[in-house]
Structure 1
Amino acid sequence: MQTASTNICERLCNKSIHDISWLLNIPRSTVSGIITKWKQLGTTATQPPSGRPRHMTERGQGMLKHTVRRSHQLSAESIAKDLQTSCGLQISTTTVCRELHGMGLYG
Protein backbone atom coordinates (compact mmCIF):
# COMPACT_ATOMS: atom_id res chain seq x y z
CA MET A 1 0.00 0.00 0.00
CA GLN A 2 1.25 3.47 -0.83
CA THR A 3 2.00 6.10 1.78
CA ALA A 4 -0.20 9.04 2.62
CA SER A 5 2.35 11.44 1.15
CA THR A 6 1.83 9.80 -2.24
CA ASN A 7 -1.86 10.57 -1.99
CA ILE A 8 -1.14 14.17 -1.15
CA CYS A 9 1.31 14.48 -4.03
CA GLU A 10 -1.27 13.06 -6.41
CA ARG A 11 -3.87 15.50 -5.11
CA LEU A 12 -1.46 18.37 -5.56
CA CYS A 13 -0.97 17.29 -9.16
CA ASN A 14 -4.68 18.08 -9.74
CA LYS A 15 -5.92 14.51 -9.81
CA SER A 16 -9.37 13.73 -8.50
CA ILE A 17 -10.00 11.60 -5.44
CA HIS A 18 -11.53 8.97 -7.72
CA ASP A 19 -8.40 8.86 -9.90
CA ILE A 20 -6.08 8.62 -6.89
CA SER A 21 -8.22 5.82 -5.47
CA TRP A 22 -8.11 3.93 -8.75
CA LEU A 23 -4.35 4.44 -9.23
CA LEU A 24 -3.42 3.28 -5.73
CA ASN A 25 -6.15 0.66 -5.43
CA ILE A 26 -7.44 1.97 -2.09
CA PRO A 27 -10.97 3.14 -1.16
CA ARG A 28 -12.08 6.67 -1.97
CA SER A 29 -13.07 7.24 1.65
CA THR A 30 -9.49 6.53 2.71
CA VAL A 31 -8.07 8.97 0.18
CA SER A 32 -10.61 11.60 1.17
CA GLY A 33 -9.89 11.10 4.88
CA ILE A 34 -6.15 11.45 4.38
CA ILE A 35 -6.55 14.62 2.33
CA THR A 36 -8.95 16.10 4.90
CA LYS A 37 -6.55 15.24 7.72
CA TRP A 38 -3.69 16.85 5.82
CA LYS A 39 -5.69 20.05 5.29
CA GLN A 40 -6.77 20.27 8.94
CA LEU A 41 -3.58 19.24 10.74
CA GLY A 42 -0.83 19.73 8.17
CA THR A 43 0.28 16.14 8.71
CA THR A 44 -1.06 12.64 8.31
CA ALA A 45 0.49 11.29 11.52
CA THR A 46 -1.88 9.77 14.06
CA GLN A 47 -2.58 11.51 17.33
CA PRO A 48 -1.29 9.97 20.57
CA PRO A 49 -3.96 8.24 22.67
CA SER A 50 -5.85 10.53 25.01
CA GLY A 51 -5.93 10.09 28.76
CA ARG A 52 -3.54 8.83 31.35
CA PRO A 53 -2.07 5.33 30.94
CA ARG A 54 -3.32 2.64 33.31
CA HIS A 55 -1.21 2.02 36.38
CA MET A 56 -1.83 -1.74 36.52
CA THR A 57 -0.83 -3.99 33.68
CA GLU A 58 -2.64 -7.19 32.75
CA ARG A 59 0.04 -9.13 34.60
CA GLY A 60 -0.56 -7.05 37.72
CA GLN A 61 -4.30 -7.62 37.44
CA GLY A 62 -3.70 -11.35 37.23
CA MET A 63 -1.52 -11.27 40.32
CA LEU A 64 -4.16 -9.22 42.14
CA LYS A 65 -6.87 -11.70 41.23
CA HIS A 66 -4.65 -14.62 42.32
CA THR A 67 -3.92 -12.92 45.66
CA VAL A 68 -7.60 -12.29 46.34
CA ARG A 69 -8.70 -15.81 45.38
CA ARG A 70 -5.95 -17.33 47.51
CA SER A 71 -7.14 -15.53 50.65
CA HIS A 72 -10.38 -13.62 50.18
CA GLN A 73 -10.54 -12.26 53.73
CA LEU A 74 -7.72 -9.71 53.25
CA SER A 75 -8.31 -5.97 53.35
CA ALA A 76 -7.39 -3.74 50.41
CA GLU A 77 -4.50 -2.30 52.42
CA SER A 78 -3.00 -5.72 53.15
CA ILE A 79 -3.46 -6.75 49.50
CA ALA A 80 -1.58 -3.63 48.37
CA LYS A 81 1.26 -4.39 50.81
CA ASP A 82 1.34 -8.04 49.72
CA LEU A 83 1.61 -7.04 46.04
CA GLN A 84 4.38 -4.59 46.87
CA THR A 85 6.46 -7.18 48.70
CA SER A 86 5.86 -10.12 46.37
CA CYS A 87 6.02 -8.42 42.95
CA GLY A 88 7.34 -4.93 43.56
CA LEU A 89 4.05 -3.49 42.29
CA GLN A 90 3.44 -0.27 44.18
CA ILE A 91 -0.27 0.60 44.12
CA SER A 92 -2.59 2.34 46.53
CA THR A 93 -5.53 0.79 48.35
CA THR A 94 -7.89 2.86 46.22
CA THR A 95 -6.39 1.36 43.07
CA VAL A 96 -6.78 -2.13 44.55
CA CYS A 97 -10.48 -1.48 45.22
CA ARG A 98 -11.02 0.04 41.77
CA GLU A 99 -9.35 -2.87 40.00
CA LEU A 100 -11.25 -5.46 42.03
CA HIS A 101 -14.54 -3.73 41.25
CA GLY A 102 -13.57 -3.72 37.58
CA MET A 103 -13.09 -7.50 37.81
CA GLY A 104 -16.51 -7.90 39.43
CA LEU A 105 -15.16 -8.67 42.91
CA TYR A 106 -16.74 -6.76 45.79
CA GLY A 107 -16.66 -6.85 49.58
Structure 2
Amino acid sequence: MQTSSTNIYERLCNKSIHEISLLLNIPRSTVSGIITKLKQLGTTATQPPRGRPRKMTERGQHMLKRTLRRSRQLSAESIAKDLQTLCCLQISTVHRELHGMGFHGQAAASKPYITKCNAKRQM
Protein backbone atom coordinates (compact mmCIF):
# COMPACT_ATOMS: atom_id res chain seq x y z
CA MET A 1 0.00 0.00 0.00
CA GLN A 2 1.41 3.36 -1.03
CA THR A 3 0.68 6.74 0.45
CA SER A 4 -0.59 9.61 -1.65
CA SER A 5 2.71 11.47 -1.27
CA THR A 6 4.66 8.53 -2.75
CA ASN A 7 2.16 8.35 -5.63
CA ILE A 8 2.70 12.05 -6.28
CA TYR A 9 6.44 11.52 -6.09
CA GLU A 10 6.31 8.64 -8.58
CA ARG A 11 4.20 10.66 -11.01
CA LEU A 12 6.37 13.76 -10.75
CA CYS A 13 9.76 12.04 -10.47
CA ASN A 14 10.76 12.97 -14.01
CA LYS A 15 10.20 16.68 -13.28
CA SER A 16 12.59 19.02 -11.51
CA ILE A 17 12.02 20.40 -8.02
CA HIS A 18 11.40 23.83 -9.53
CA GLU A 19 8.69 22.47 -11.86
CA ILE A 20 7.01 20.56 -9.03
CA SER A 21 6.99 23.67 -6.83
CA LEU A 22 5.40 25.69 -9.64
CA LEU A 23 2.77 22.99 -10.27
CA LEU A 24 1.81 22.60 -6.60
CA ASN A 25 2.34 26.28 -5.73
CA ILE A 26 4.55 25.54 -2.73
CA PRO A 27 8.14 26.66 -2.02
CA ARG A 28 11.06 24.77 -3.54
CA SER A 29 12.56 24.14 -0.12
CA THR A 30 9.37 22.37 0.98
CA VAL A 31 9.35 20.17 -2.13
CA SER A 32 13.03 19.38 -1.63
CA GLY A 33 12.44 18.49 2.02
CA ILE A 34 9.53 16.18 1.19
CA ILE A 35 11.50 14.39 -1.51
CA THR A 36 14.50 13.99 0.79
CA LYS A 37 12.26 12.64 3.56
CA LEU A 38 10.63 10.19 1.12
CA LYS A 39 14.00 8.93 -0.05
CA GLN A 40 15.40 8.51 3.46
CA LEU A 41 12.39 7.22 5.40
CA GLY A 42 10.06 5.96 2.69
CA THR A 43 7.22 8.05 4.09
CA THR A 44 6.37 11.66 4.90
CA ALA A 45 4.59 10.85 8.16
CA THR A 46 5.66 12.95 11.11
CA GLN A 47 7.66 11.36 13.87
CA PRO A 48 6.40 11.17 17.44
CA PRO A 49 7.08 14.23 19.59
CA ARG A 50 10.40 14.34 21.37
CA GLY A 51 11.11 15.17 24.94
CA ARG A 52 9.48 14.42 28.23
CA PRO A 53 5.67 14.54 28.35
CA ARG A 54 4.13 17.32 30.42
CA LYS A 55 3.44 16.44 34.02
CA MET A 56 0.58 18.92 34.39
CA THR A 57 -2.63 17.67 32.79
CA GLU A 58 -5.47 19.90 31.62
CA ARG A 59 -7.37 19.04 34.79
CA GLY A 60 -4.37 20.10 36.86
CA GLN A 61 -4.14 23.37 34.95
CA HIS A 62 -7.83 23.99 35.60
CA MET A 63 -7.28 23.37 39.32
CA LEU A 64 -4.28 25.72 39.26
CA LYS A 65 -6.34 28.50 37.65
CA ARG A 66 -9.14 28.02 40.17
CA THR A 67 -6.74 28.11 43.09
CA LEU A 68 -5.10 31.26 41.78
CA ARG A 69 -8.37 33.06 41.10
CA ARG A 70 -9.60 32.35 44.62
CA SER A 71 -6.64 34.11 46.18
CA ARG A 72 -4.32 36.14 43.95
CA GLN A 73 -1.75 36.79 46.67
CA LEU A 74 -0.62 33.21 47.21
CA SER A 75 3.00 32.30 46.62
CA ALA A 76 4.00 29.59 44.16
CA GLU A 77 5.06 27.35 47.06
CA SER A 78 1.69 27.57 48.78
CA ILE A 79 -0.11 26.94 45.48
CA ALA A 80 2.04 23.84 44.95
CA LYS A 81 1.10 22.60 48.44
CA ASP A 82 -2.60 23.22 47.73
CA LEU A 83 -2.40 21.27 44.48
CA GLN A 84 -0.65 18.42 46.25
CA THR A 85 -3.38 18.17 48.87
CA LEU A 86 -6.34 18.73 46.51
CA CYS A 87 -5.52 16.57 43.51
CA CYS A 88 -2.38 14.63 44.52
CA LEU A 89 -0.16 16.46 42.03
CA GLN A 90 3.40 17.04 43.14
CA ILE A 91 4.62 19.76 40.82
CA SER A 92 7.70 21.87 41.35
CA THR A 93 7.21 23.97 38.20
CA VAL A 94 4.13 25.92 39.29
CA HIS A 95 5.84 29.19 38.42
CA ARG A 96 6.55 27.97 34.86
CA GLU A 97 2.99 26.70 34.43
CA LEU A 98 1.55 30.03 35.61
CA HIS A 99 3.74 31.92 33.13
CA GLY A 100 2.59 29.57 30.38
CA MET A 101 -1.05 30.33 31.22
CA GLY A 102 -0.42 34.08 31.17
CA PHE A 103 -0.26 34.81 34.89
CA HIS A 104 2.71 36.92 35.97
CA GLY A 105 3.68 38.16 39.41
CA GLN A 106 2.90 41.84 39.63
CA ALA A 107 2.61 44.23 42.51
CA ALA A 108 -0.83 45.69 43.06
CA ALA A 109 -1.34 49.28 41.99
CA SER A 110 -1.28 51.72 44.89
CA LYS A 111 -4.64 53.39 45.27
CA PRO A 112 -5.03 56.43 47.49
CA TYR A 113 -7.64 56.26 50.16
CA ILE A 114 -10.38 58.61 48.98
CA THR A 115 -13.00 59.72 51.48
CA LYS A 116 -16.10 61.73 50.61
CA CYS A 117 -14.35 64.85 51.89
CA ASN A 118 -11.26 64.24 49.74
CA ALA A 119 -13.43 63.56 46.70
CA LYS A 120 -15.17 66.93 47.14
CA ARG A 121 -11.83 68.70 47.41
CA GLN A 122 -10.60 67.10 44.20
CA MET A 123 -13.67 68.21 42.29
What range describes the TM-score normalised by the shorter chain of this pair? 0.5 to 0.7
Matched, 1:81 2:85: yes
| Matched residue SS, 2:32 | helix
Unaligned runs of 5+ in 2: 99-103, 106-123
In 2, are the aligned partners of 1:68 and 1:79 still within 8 Å (CA)?
no
RMSD: 2.6
In 1, are the aligned partners of 2:60 and 2:89 still within 8 Å (CA)?
no
List 4+ stretches of structure 1 deviating above 6 A. Answer: none
C-alpha spacing 1:9/1:78, structure 2 compared with 1 (3 Å):
same
State the identity as a percent.
57
Q: How many residues align?
A: 92
Of the two structures, which has the highest relative contact order with CA contacts closer than 8 Å and spacing of 6 or more?
Answer: 1
TM-score, normalised to structure 1, is 0.64
TM-score, normalised to structure 2, is 0.57
Matches within 5 A, 1:12-91: 12=13, 14-71=14-71, 72=74, 74=78, 76-82=80-86, 84=87, 90-91=88-89
| Matched residue SS, 2:56 | coil
C-alpha spacing 1:25/1:79, structure 2 compared with 1 (3 Å):
closer
Residue 43 of structure 1: CA displacement? 1.3
Unaligned runs of 5+ in 1: 85-89
C-alpha spacing 1:28/1:10, structure 2 compared with 1 (3 Å):
farther
Matched, 1:98 2:93: yes
